[in-house]
């Protein structure tokens, strides 16, 4: 069996995290299949194959580009693969190799306001439709996204498999990595962590409003809000919430370093309007850190009873949940224990086994046809 995996997003966040965890799991479970990984040339230098049965092919085409539509199908066809796995909905339009695709979410389709040009949203719909139509099986990372695929894109339910995202092997175990300087400078003051990008659907203005409310209620405390990324164009939102230096931005943080930040946080706050899965709550739970999330999309499905779930778009309930986790040590301990227990349900083994089963089913279906 020769399986190709489009790994051009391997070192990105989101899909990159999914790919890294998937490859680590597959390498542990399957030493017999030959895997051909398509990587961008710049990524080959820092990639270490997880096993002797993994081979790299350079694919000099950016994701979501016209170049990938022309180059990638030729490279895939040249390898004579039994199957190609595309980890996103923008698979090459005219590829002929049997395919499995992972669709993480339909955010670009459901939130057209993310684009300046409405035509881009139409293209996203068309690409998703074409990908799920071509794929022999469609993988997705939550029941919520499975529902979207079935009822919004018309994918037959029997064609969709839920393979939940997973933590990297060893995540949250062993010694904690050193803290980055901005967190170490807090001197042990309690802080809430937001990890992720700053796109509109992440709802950061509501988070700032909630933290501003909390600061007014908790006069005398030294709680802080720590975010990944740069302050940049969030400055206006911070001023509207009456916030300044009590909000700390970390810039770009290596993933292993971020694990140490998770472990030091009082809680993760994640008020997003939409997530196909939501990696940060899972990563926080794997470190025993309670998440506070909105009741939107897949987030309640992921968090379960291991965190606090608040109404989306409402700052006051979010602030009150943060206040509870600051003041109630017993609640914090209880949720911390539940978080670690729940994180174990999202294992690399389950992700790898479910994906390998989908590969076998897709190849067998092609041979039968």
Most confident of the ranges 43-47, 101-105, 199-203: 101-105
* Pair 269, 329 in one domain: yes
* Pair 136, 6 in one domain: yes
Residue 358 lies in a domain: yes
Kind plus residue range of the DSSP H or E element containing 65: none
Residue 173 lies in a domain: no
Tell me the β-bridge partners of 123.
Answer: none
* Pair 78, 209 in one domain: no
Q: Residue 247 sits in a domain of what CATH number?
A: 3.40.50.2000
**Total count of domains within the chain:** 2
Instruction: Tell whether the model's pLDDT for residue 106 goes beyond 70.
Output: yes
**Beta carbons of 172 and 340 less than 8 angstroms apart:** yes
Mean pLDDT value of segment 67-71: 90
Mean pLDDT value of segment 144-162: 97
Question: What does the pLDDT look like over 271-300, one tens digit per residue?
Answer: 999 999 999 999 999 999 999 999 999 999
* Pair 357, 268 in one domain: no
Mean pLDDT value of segment 134-150: 97
Helices (H) and strands (E) in the chain, counts: 15, 13
* Pair 279, 330 in one domain: yes
Reference 11, options 28, 27, 23, 2; nearest CA is 23
Residue 63 lies in a domain: yes
Residue 172 lies in a domain: no
**Residue 170 pLDDT:** 87
Instruction: Tell whether the model's pLDDT for residue 161 goes beyond 90.
Output: yes
* Pair 226, 111 in one domain: no
Q: With H, G, I as helix, E, B as strand and everything else as coil, classify residue 268.
A: strand
* Pair 274, 149 in one domain: no
Reference 264, options 314, 304, 323, 224; nearest CA is 224
**Residue 360 pLDDT:** 96
**Residue 220 pLDDT:** 57
**Beta carbons of 323 and 274 less than 8 angstroms apart:** no
**Residue 65 pLDDT:** 87
**Beta carbons of 313 and 291 less than 8 angstroms apart:** no
* Pair 334, 354 in one domain: no
185 contact partners, CB below 8 Å, separation of at least 6: none
Instruction: Tell whether the model's pLDDT for residue 333 goes beyond 90.
Output: yes
325 burial via Cβ count (<10 Å: 0-12, 13-18, 19+)? buried
Residue 228 lies in a domain: yes
Residue 143 lies in a domain: yes
Residue 284 lies in a domain: yes
C-alpha pair distances (Å), 344 with each of 166, 168, 262, 325, 339: 9, 11, 17, 23, 9
Domain membership of residue 204 as a residue range: 181-343
C-alpha pair distances (Å), 254 with each of 149, 178, 250: 33, 12, 10
* Pair 333, 353 in one domain: no
User: In this prediction, what percent of the chain has a pLDDT beyond 90?
Assistant: 83
* Pair 110, 139 in one domain: yes
First to last CA, the chain: 17
Instruction: Tell whether the model's pLDDT for residue 115 goes beyond 80.
Output: no
158 burial via Cβ count (<10 Å: 0-12, 13-18, 19+)? exposed
* Pair 242, 120 in one domain: no
Residue 92 binned pLDDT confidence (cut-offs 50, 70, 90): very high
Residue 176 lies in a domain: no
- Locus of tokens 């395919």: 99
**Beta carbons of 343 and 305 less than 8 angstroms apart:** no
**Beta carbons of 7 and 49 less than 8 angstroms apart:** no
* Pair 190, 309 in one domain: yes
Instruction: Tell whether the model's pLDDT for residue 366 goes beyond 70.
Output: no
């Amino acid at each position: 069996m020769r399986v190709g995996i489009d790994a051009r997003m391997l070192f990105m966040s989101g899909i990159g995290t999914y790919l890294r965890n998937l490859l680590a799991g597959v390498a542990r479970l399957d030493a017999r299949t030959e895997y051909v990984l398509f990587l961008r040339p710049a990524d080959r230098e820092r990639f270490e194959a997880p096993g002797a049965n993994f081979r790299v092919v350079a694919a000099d085409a950016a994701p979501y580009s016209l170049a990938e539509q022309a180059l990638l199908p030729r490279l895939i066809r040249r390898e004579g693969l039994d199957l190609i796995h595309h980890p996103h909905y923008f698979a090459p339009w005219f590829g002929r190799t049997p395919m499995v695709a992972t669709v993480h979410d339909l955010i670009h389709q459901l939130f057209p306001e993310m684009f300046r040009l409405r035509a881009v949203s139409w293209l996203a719909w068309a690409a998703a439709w074409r990908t799920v139509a071509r794929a022999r099986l469609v993988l997705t990372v939550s029941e919520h996204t499975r529902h979207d695929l079935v009822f919004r894109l018309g994918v037959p339910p029997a064609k969709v498999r839920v393979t939940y995202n997973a933590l990297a092997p060893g995540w949250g175990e062993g010694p904690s990595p050193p803290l980055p300087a901005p967190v170490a400078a807090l001197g042990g003051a309690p802080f809430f962590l937001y990890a992720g990008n700053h796109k509109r659907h992440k709802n950061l203005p509501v988070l700032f409003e909630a933290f501003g409310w909390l600061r007014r209620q908790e006069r005398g405390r030294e709680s802080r809000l720590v975010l990944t990324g740069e302050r940049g164009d969030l400055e206006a939102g911070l001023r509207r919430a009456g916030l300044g230096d009590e909000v700390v931005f970390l810039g770009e943080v290596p993933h292993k370093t971020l694990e140490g930040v998770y472990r030091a946080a009082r809680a993760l706050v994640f008020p997003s309007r939409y997530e196909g899965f939501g990696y940060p709550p899972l990563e926080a739970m794997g470190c025993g850190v309670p998440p506070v999330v909105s009741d939107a999309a897949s987030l309640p499905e992921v968090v379960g009873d291991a965190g606090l779930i608040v109404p989306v778009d409402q700052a006051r309930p979010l602030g009150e949940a943060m206040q509870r986790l600051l003041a109630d040590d017993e609640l914090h301990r209880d949720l911390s224990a539940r978080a670690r227990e729940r994180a174990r349900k999202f294992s690399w083994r389950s992700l790898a086994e479910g994906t390998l089963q989908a590969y076998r089913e897709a190849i067998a279906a092609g041979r039968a046809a």
